[in-house]
């Protein structure tokens, strides 16, 4: 009996200890949960304070810039030559029909560049003499009667039409600096693949346009070529990195052009300059011939070369040419009936941290677009939505841009040959001795603080990207498009983006998702005298839906609006 009692007492003691451990564990778990919730509340509180502070600072900064710049800046000289008001597609047709010669067309655009470039600084190199010679050869081919008009349209659809591109897409014989001082004298030895395809289609490269330093900022300014100014208001930015290209198009100084986009570098300049720009579906257009090139296959899928033009009708034939053998994947010749398309629209990112609220003018533009679709197009659906993960666009983009190459932005500033020391460069910049822009140096410093490739946070953000991609794919299917702001504000003043650096998130998120997107103007300038617009996003390889919407909205609202002329 004594043994039994002893045994029972021992079991009771063990049970008591186990129960005590469970209570302690439960208590610890509750305590841990409380600490997490308390920490989250503190973070939320601090975040709210920072958001309020950010909003206050951006408003003060805007006021300071308005006072500094004062009245609207210079605008460009009037457009007096009717050739400059034609689309590239229309000019190609008239050249084939001998209604106008290629030489006449190129001379018109050369004169225009010489008239407006001193004010706007978009053109950084040219091949005017070579282009005129090639134009004469094109005219001679047409006059020879060797091919019919129909044959020429098929073989060389843009025969004799001048084309421009940004200073990071190689054009044989022209500068290939990407705005980097270490490359200031470097010239391309061959065309980038996309330009080669356009040249084969008859287009004649004639001008090279300005970019941001190493193409990684959304104002086009560098120590090699200086700053590009907006044709609507010279106090405003043109965007980046295809800012010079957006500007040359809006100023009617080029028939059409090529841009590239890894975080909005086609779509932001297109928006700020009131023209059309298309970022293709991932991996459709070759990136060969760009600098800098992506370091990984995944980064390569984020980057895309695409068409830019004042006229929507140029985008589809340009994309067909640039896509080469992959054009068939896009089914560009398949008719699009917009009445059978499902439209979704989202007015903002929902409140992304440190992202500026969407301007009232842009919200009004979205409203007009939605009303037009409902009243005139009458599609299957026009539905307002709110994708919550868009709030995290910035961190998703930054994390997904990381790779395991070992190269940093400091290496890119060193032309991939050396890693610059951003701290030393910052000190040199203060005394005017650095060969880099302030924002380039700052970007190199910030790059060191970002999510590390392969870290738990990196993996988490890749997962978030994949979840958002799947959500949008399921939403859009093969017959849906999403209307979304291209940017939360109209074109800011020069240097103002430094105080609102992550506003690019509205475009950047689309790059890491890989979807096609077209930036399109809405036919008018807003209350600040600069263009309004939006972007339309579709599912993979449904670029034709984006382009069809662009053509419809151009018909409805007028598309590119000529910049105001000061007399």
- CB neighbours (10 Å) of residue 324? 16
- Active-site residues, by number, are 166, 241, 265
Which residue, 516, 518, 512, 517, is CA-closest to 540? 516
Q: Which regions of the chain carry the CATH code 3.90.1300.10?
A: 82-329+340-397+451-551
The pLDDT value given to residue 428 = 98
The C-alpha angle with vertex 213 and arms to 210 and 218, in degrees rounded to 5, equals: 75
Which residue, 299, 284, 328, 269, is CA-closest to 492? 269
CA dist 120 and 309 (Å) reads 18
How big, in percent rounded to 5, are the helix, strand and coil portions of the chain? 50, 15, 35
Q: Are 160 and 93 in contact (CB under 8 A)?
A: no
Give me the tens of pLDDT residue by residue for the chain, a chain 567 residues long: 444 444 444 444 544 444 444 444 444 544 555 655 555 555 566 767 888 888 888 899 999 999 999 878 887 889 999 999 999 999 999 999 999 999 999 999 999 999 999 999 999 999 999 999 999 999 999 999 999 999 999 999 999 999 999 999 999 999 999 999 999 999 999 999 999 999 999 999 999 999 999 999 999 999 999 999 999 999 999 999 999 999 999 999 999 999 999 999 999 999 999 999 999 999 999 999 999 999 999 999 999 999 999 999 999 999 999 999 999 999 999 999 999 999 999 999 999 999 999 999 999 999 999 999 999 999 999 999 999 999 999 999 999 999 999 999 999 999 999 999 999 999 999 999 999 999 999 999 999 898 999 999 999 999 999 999 999 999 999 999 999 999 999 999 999 999 999 999 999 999 999 999 999 999 999 999 999 999 999 999 999 999 999 999 999 999 999 986 543
CA dist 463 and 509 (Å) reads 14
Which residue, 126, 237, 193, 255, is CA-closest to 499? 237
Which residue, 248, 268, 256, is CA-closest to 124? 248
Q: What is the DSSP letter of 450?
A: S
Residue found by looking up tokens 């009708």 in the block: 313
Helices 505-513 & 456-476 angle (0-180, nearest 10): 90
Three-class SS state of 395 = helix
Q: Are 518 and 277 in contact (CB under 8 A)?
A: yes
User: Which CATH number fits the domain 82-329+340-397+451-551, given the four candidates 3.30.70.270, 3.90.1300.10, 3.40.630.10, 3.30.1330.10?
Assistant: 3.90.1300.10
Give the CB-side neighbour count of residue 26, counting CA atoms within 13 A. Answer: 6
Q: What is the pTM of this model?
A: 0.92
Which strand (E) or helix (H) includes residue 525? strand 517-525
Sign of CA dihedral 222, 61, 63, 355: positive
Token duo for residue 109: 């655009």
In 70-155, where does DSSP find H-type helix?
A: 88-96, 102-120, 128-144, 149-155
């Amino acid at each position: 009996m004594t043994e039994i009692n002893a045994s029972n007492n021992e079991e009771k003691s063990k049970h008591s200890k186990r129960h005590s451990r469970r209570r302690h564990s439960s208590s610890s778990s509750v305590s841990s949960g409380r600490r997490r919730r308390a920490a989250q509340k503190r973070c939320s509180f601090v975040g709210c304070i920072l958001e309020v502070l950010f909003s206050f600072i951006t408003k003060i900064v805007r006021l300071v810039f308005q006072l500094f710049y004062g009245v609207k800046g210079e605008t460009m000289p009037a457009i007096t030559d009717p050739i400059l008001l034609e689309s590239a597609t229309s000019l190609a047709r008239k050249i084939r029909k001998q209604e106008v010669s290629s030489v006449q067309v190129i001379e018109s655009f050369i004169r225009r560049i010489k008239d407006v470039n001193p004010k706007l600084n978009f053109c950084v190199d040219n091949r005017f003499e070579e282009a005129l010679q090639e134009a004469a050869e094109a005219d001679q081919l047409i006059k020879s009667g060797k091919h019919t008009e129909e044959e020429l349209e098929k073989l060389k659809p843009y025969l004799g039409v001048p084309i421009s591109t940004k200073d990071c897409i190689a054009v044989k014989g022209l500068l290939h600096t990407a705005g980097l001082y270490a490359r200031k004298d470097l010239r391309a030895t061959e065309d980038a693949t996309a330009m080669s395809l356009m040249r084969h289609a008859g287009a004649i490269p004639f001008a090279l346009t300005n970019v941001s330093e190493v193409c990684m900022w959304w104002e086009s300014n560098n120590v090699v070529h200086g700053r590009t100014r907006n044709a609507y208001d010279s106090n405003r930015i043109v965007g980046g990195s295809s800012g010079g290209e957006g500007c040359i198009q809006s100023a009617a100084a080029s028939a059409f052009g090529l841009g590239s986009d890894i975080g909005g570098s086609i779509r932001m300049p297109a928006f700020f300059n009131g023209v059309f720009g298309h970022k293709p579906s991932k991996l459709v257009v070759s990136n060969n011939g760009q600098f800098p090139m992506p370091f990984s296959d995944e980064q390569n899928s984020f980057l895309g070369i695409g068409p830019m033009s004042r006229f929507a009708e140029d985008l589809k034939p340009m994309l067909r040419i640039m896509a080469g053998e992959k054009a068939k994947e896009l089914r560009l010749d398949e008719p699009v009936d917009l009445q059978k398309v499902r439209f979704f629209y989202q007015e903002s990112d929902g409140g992304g941290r440190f992202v500026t609220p969407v301007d009232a003018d842009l919200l009004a533009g979205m409203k007009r677009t939605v009303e037009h679709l409902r009243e005139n197009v009458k599609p299957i659906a026009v539905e307002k939505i709110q994708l919550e993960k868009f709030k995290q666009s910035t961190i998703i983009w930054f994390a997904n841009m990381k790779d395991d190459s070992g190269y940093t932005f400091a290496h890119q500033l060193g032309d991939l040959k050396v890693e610059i020391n951003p701290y030393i460069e910052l000190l040199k910049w203060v005394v005017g001795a650095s060969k880099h822009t302030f924002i380039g140096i700052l970007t190199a410093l910030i790059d060191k603080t970002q999510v590390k490739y392969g870290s738990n946070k990196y993996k988490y953000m890749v997962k978030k990207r994949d979840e958002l991609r799947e959500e949008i794919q399921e939403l859009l299917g093969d017959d849906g498009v999403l209307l979304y702001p291209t940017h939360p504000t109209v074109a800011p003043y020069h240097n103002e983006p430094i105080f609102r650096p992550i506003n690019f998130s509205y475009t950047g998120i689309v790059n890491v998702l890989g979807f096609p997107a077209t930036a399109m103007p809405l036919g008018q300038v807003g209350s600040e005298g600069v263009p309004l617009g939006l972007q339309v996003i579709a599912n993979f390889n449904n670029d034709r839906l984006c382009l069809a919407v662009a053509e419809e909205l151009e018909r409805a609202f007028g598309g590119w609006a000529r910049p105001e002329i000061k007399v």
